[in-house]
Amino acid sequence: MNEQRIDTLLNAMTLEEQVSLLAGATFWTTAPVERLGIPALKVSDGPNGARGGGSLVGGVKAASFPVAISLASTWNTELVTQVGQALAQEARSKGAHVLLAPTVNLHRSTQNGRNFECYSEDPFLSARVCVAYIQGVQSQGVGATVKHYVGNESEFERMSISSDIDERALRELYLVPFEAAVKEARTWAVMCAYNKLNGTFASENRRLLTDILKREWGFDGVLMSDWFATHSTAESMNAGLDLEMPGPAKFRGQKLLEAVRAGQVRAEAIQDSARRVLRLLSRVGVFEHPAPVEEQAIDRPEHRALIRRAGAEGTVLLKNNGVLPLDPTRLKKIALIGPNARTAQIMGGGSAQVNAHYRVTPYEGLQARLGGSVVLGYETGCANHKLLPLLEKPLTAEYFNNRGLSGKGVPGAGLAQAEVMWFDEPAPGVNVDTFSARLSTRFTPDEDGVHHFGLVSAGLSRLFVDGRLLVDNWSAWKQGDTYFNNGSDEATGTLELQAGRAYDVTIEYATPAEGIRAVRVGVTRPLGDEHLERAARLAADCDVALVFVGHNGEWDTEAVDRPHMDLVGRQNELVSRVASANPNTVVVLQTGAPVTLPWLDKVAGVLQAWYPGQEAGNAIADVLLGAAEPSGRLPQTFPVRLEDNAAHGHYPGGNGRVRYGEGLFMGYRHHDTKNIAPLFPFGFGLSYTTFAYGNLRLSTESLAPGGTLTVTLEVTNTGARAGQEVVQLYVRDEKASLPRPEKELKGFLKVALEPGETKTVTLTLGMRALAYFDDARAAWVAEAGRFEVLVGSSSRDLHARATFSLQRDWVGSLETAQAAF
């Protein structure tokens, strides 16, 4: 449908019909206009899968891809484009037309609960990865939604806090990925952040939404709110917010009609936003295929292979004393130790969750690869859960059309496990807003001893064992940080249980007055000192000890920041004990952000595997055994300690505001300027082979304003194995009128090399690669003078450098300055 047809359709609509397009009809769909044949649009959460329109818990199964920080660690934009294409296919299988991804907020701190869902601390790397992702998604006719625009670098008080960011930092860091998404990838949708920017809610910030996004950058797609992030009628509409989500409308609909009739909102603004919604409907092909599609769980072999490859390629080798890759022909017994050894940690928490087709644990991945040729021993050692492990037992459900469990109950569908979120009516005829439920199962413990039961709920809940009230989360319910801050903290109770005996477990639940409706039951027998001792004994009896530690989607999750930068529980103690028992100890980390590593000098190897999707165990096994090269490189600096992080002292804020006091000097820029040695620098990653750099050449030593500089060099694989190197190009302005970082990433390329092979790498720099943002002139400025090009394999490991001069000042306007550097 071309623009002329869209205008014709728009002119045929009444004001009421135009307004109806500007708010969701349901949680995941927009409103149709049946009179004119305008269908509804369906959206789905991403970014590491397409969940569809179901609950965040359970629902139709979907492929789980590596999380964003893992994808960025590949530094492979071609691979990311392939992932975007696959995710679009996944979205289509769920009947969705728009994927709510990618997330391009920056890694300002190591504590942000959503770091796993974002790409990098560096705006250039984030921009290149997000452009590749969006191009992949939209090449398949599915819309991408770049988010959260802008300043959502923490989860602390995210619904109300003001991110106070100076103009230079905003322009040079935090806006850059969004600018690239609009100018280069031509993203079809943008999502506003929950937070305020410099005192004004993002969804009401006219300068942010209209002046910058729509006018300066030329964005012609749909600008939607995050879910429940619309706070006003006239203010948000006049600021440029096109679509309130979710539905039904809270601030649009009749309120917006009244605002137009009262002269508070211009009819032209309604028409512009309605036109944008129609344009999006046209772009995703919904006019040609208006009928809703039933959600399907399609487990594609090609997606399995892509997830496995991407998960392995995003794995970063942080340390190796020669123990990796493992040679099975020289090993008789391997110890697999740790809370993540036989648990597949495949993704973070929050809205990024999907119900994966399957989950491969590291134990299963190694077992499949080794095929019994090597004995595998296993010990948990310690726990790393935040909430008690989920009670994975099927439950029967009975629902009541009131909050008091009174009257005749209505049988509901059985539940696969003891966690459920209700978005639709739980049983026929039961009101989803005002119901209560009785959920029942039987639990048979494997061991004698004291067991802990935990109960979390958005709404009231209580738990009975054999008719005895054990956990009361009803009479003393208090709001906590679960379920996007709608749920309670975990209430617990303990009970001595006998192994092999079946116990009746009953959960009673009542909905809250408003908000999310959910309940979760956990149970465990706590691990003690004897489990640490058993792990150390096993390690001493094996040729190699592999320790799988880290976090999970309870720690790395939306709506909650991490409390510190350490591994939780007794995991550090576990690693130290195992390393003391076996010098060939390799640690496999699965976290969504950097952690401290107090035992680093004691272990032989460290792999950072992030959350690599449903093929986690296979991808990790491929790297450990050398079937895949660890070609990942860090997209975020690993500080030695929390205090070395640039945002420390400015994070997470208080009294409703967070000041981005570090300004431009975030991430490696901070470490460079303050001369603080990182634990592992930005861009760092070892390989199973070695590389040499040489013959760095520049296309000119004197560059005219508006010109481009071509940088050429040769990279050689000097080792005995094939491998991939990430060539990183940084630029330094030797003298500037305004403060600038010591150097900034402005180019990179991943190159695959056979043993002994040499390849020529060519990178190009434009004016934006040399420029800073002059807030006094409101323009991009590259000053005449000398610049240095630095090429290497990390921000701290630089192998070659050369200088050139810019002949005269270059000034780029906001509208014309390209997003590419």
Catalytic residues: 226
User: Are the C-beta atoms of residues 315 and 309 closer than 8 Å to each other?
Assistant: no
d(C-alpha 122, C-alpha 636), whole Å: 8
User: Are the C-beta atoms of residues 42 and 53 closer than 8 Å to each other?
Assistant: yes
Please enumerate in sequence order all residues whose Cβ is within 8 A of that of 331, keeping only pairs 6 or more positions apart, or say none.
374, 543, 544
Please enumerate in sequence order all residues whose Cβ is within 8 A of that of 203, keeping only pairs 6 or more positions apart, or say none.
192, 209, 225, 226, 229, 230, 231, 236, 239, 241
d(C-alpha 314, C-alpha 609), whole Å: 7
Write out the DSSP string of 421-452. Answer: E-SS-SSTT--TTS-EEEEEEEE--SS-EEEE
d(C-alpha 191, C-alpha 662), whole Å: 26
Two tokens at 744?
């900034």
To the nearest 10 degrees (0 to 180), the angle between helices 176-183 and 123-138 is 30
Region of 475 on the Ramachandran plot (φ > 0 left; ψ -120 to 50 alpha; else beta):
alpha
d(C-alpha 447, C-alpha 497), whole Å: 8
Which residues, listed in sequence order, are joined to residue 561 by a DSSP beta bridge?
none
d(C-alpha 731, C-alpha 745), whole Å: 7
Write out the DSSP string of 171-190. Answer: IIIITHHHHHHHHTS--SEE
Write out the DSSP string of 218-240. Answer: ---SEEEPPTT----SHHHHHHT
- Cβ neighbours, 10 Å, residue 80: 27
- Cβ neighbours, 10 Å, residue 205: 27
d(C-alpha 219, C-alpha 104), whole Å: 17
Beta strands in 619-684 (DSSP E): 657-659
Q: Which of 581, 576, 578 is nearest to 598 (CA)?
A: 576
d(C-alpha 192, C-alpha 481), whole Å: 22
Two tokens at 358?
């399957």
For the chain, first and last CA: distance in Å?
34
Please enumerate in sequence order all residues whose Cβ is within 8 A of that of 529, keeping only pairs 6 or more positions apart, or say none.
none
Question: Torsions phi, psi of 592, nearest 5?
Answer: -100, 5
What is the DSSP pairing of strand 162-164 with strand 657-659?
parallel
Token pair 């975990």 in the structure block, residue:
490
Beta strands in 230-357 (DSSP E): 316-320, 333-337
d(C-alpha 527, C-alpha 667), whole Å: 37
- Overall residue count recorded for the chain in this entry: 821
User: Are the C-beta atoms of residues 304 and 615 closer than 8 Å to each other?
Assistant: yes
Token pair 């492929």 in the structure block, residue:
63
What residue type is assigned to position 499 of the chain? A
SS3 87: helix
